[in-house]
Amino acid sequence: MAKTVFITGGASGIGFGIAEFLGQQGHRILIVDINEQAAIEACETLAAQNISCRPVVLDVTDTVAIATLTETLHDETIDILINNAGIQHVAKIEDFPPEKWQLLINIMLVAPAMLTQAFLPGMRERNFGRIINVGSIHSVVASPYKSAYVAAKHGLLGFAKTIALETGEHDITINTLCPAYVKTPLVEAQIAKQAIENGISEEDVVNKIMLEPMPKKAFIEISELAQTAHFLISSGAKNITGQTLILDGGWTAR
């Protein structure tokens, strides 16, 4: 049965890839992004594939806007919440701007909590809901110069476990996808910054930092995340909740 999917950061990268795949499976997609034009263009791309789609402009750090979403969306019933919006900042902790540290936490940890708070009552009422957090390999391991990102992504795991306990009596699940490096604009931008912080070439950043820990030595593909998300919203995954799904090419097997 077709469901309505609300996906933050949905206009590009991982978010758009997941949105496109779920739309191709017949689900209705709400592309949520801070960039209105990007959201509109993403929906136009999906509409060209006969995917039902609606752009939603939202700053996920605006807790008031989140709290009033159910009113703003009017007759939309949100069945699936995908917390995907994210940013990165690479710096030593001594050089990390406090306001930037706070921003990363607000976008990648506080926002998923507040969005869950907004949509969970409706999910309880309908006795159905799927919440998927897009975490990271940095939800389970750390890398230098990414203290805010690592802290936020680690926090998602504890949050998911807690909500799983709070929703056990309903057909509601919450899980976190944790991929190793995915070749997205966010990761591309990191390569140059990491090269500077580590004093190595960009090629060495890719081979010695990003892919070296992975026995498979390959970037994770967006399609892998999309298909995993599709499984998590299926009835076959109704008892998978509070879990950390790691797509890491064997990174954490060591």
Where in the sequence numbering do the catalytic residues fall?
149
Structure tokens at 131: 């919440």
- Residue 175's contacts (CB-CB under 8 Å, 6 or more residues apart) are 131, 132, 133, 160, 232, 240, 241, 242, 243, 244, 245
The Cβ of residue 220 has, within 10 Å, a number of other Cβ atoms equal to 22
Residue 120 pairs in a beta bridge with none
What Rg value do the Cα atoms of the chain yield, rounded?
18
Structure tokens at 116: 């869950």
